[in-house]
Amino acid sequence: MAAEGIMAELEMDEVRSIWTSQPTAPRAMSQQEMLDKANKLKFAGRSKLALFSALGILLVVFGVNDHDIRFAFGKFIVACLLVAGWETAYGFKNELDILSLGLNAGTSSSLAFYRSELLRRRSFFESHQRTLAPALFLVLGSLRFVALSLRSGAFINLTPLGVFLAGWLAFTVLRKRRELPAIENEILALNLIERR
């Protein structure tokens, strides 16, 4: 039994030795590299903000002139872009501030940190406002276009609105159904682990 135990231990040691002897080339990042990385992260955030601001201005411009059906359609398209952009840039990834990560990552155990990340993500999926607000925004953004289309009898104009709204709702609901149970299960598993 002792010999078998030693053999098993040797094998474990061998696997660990293979693991730890992987070729690596560790190197500290220079101040400049840190700055570049931080700026890159900041730039990504600022680019999104700039894009959203530009779209916001465009929305106002189209909104002011939306008695013309072309502008009303433009307003609807911009509203779609804003909703899709919001979902892609913030909703889908639900990014946290990576730059402040280091300040709390050391003081939390991995268990606590992981739980907080899961809870943050769960609250994102559970929030009705997050689901309804973009839908409401989209409806409001398309009201004038719908009204003008109905008035002129161009019912075909409602197709893009219907397609986008249905697509967006399907995307949101499917994503929630796919991700929320996995997150819930993971939180339950953490609860069980903590009780042990």
Which residues of this protein are in contact with another protein, per CB under 8 A? 8, 10-16, 18-20, 22, 24-29, 31, 33-35, 37-38, 42, 92-96, 98-103, 105-114, 117-118, 121, 179, 182-183, 185-186, 189-190, 193, 196
CB of 171 to another protein, least distance (A): 13
Output 163 or 189, the one with its CB closest to another protein: 189
Output 28 or 156, the one with its CB closest to another protein: 28
**How many other β-carbons are positioned within 10 Å of the β-carbon of residue 143?**
14
Angle, helix 31-64 to helix 98-105, in steps of 10 degrees: 130
Sign of CA dihedral 167, 169, 172, 178: negative
Output 99 or 139, the one with its CB closest to another protein: 99
Output 125 or 145, the one with its CB closest to another protein: 125
- Rg of the chain in Å (alpha carbons): 26
CB of 82 to another protein, least distance (A): 22
Contact 83, 168 (CB under 8 A): yes
Locate 57 and state its tokens.
């201005």
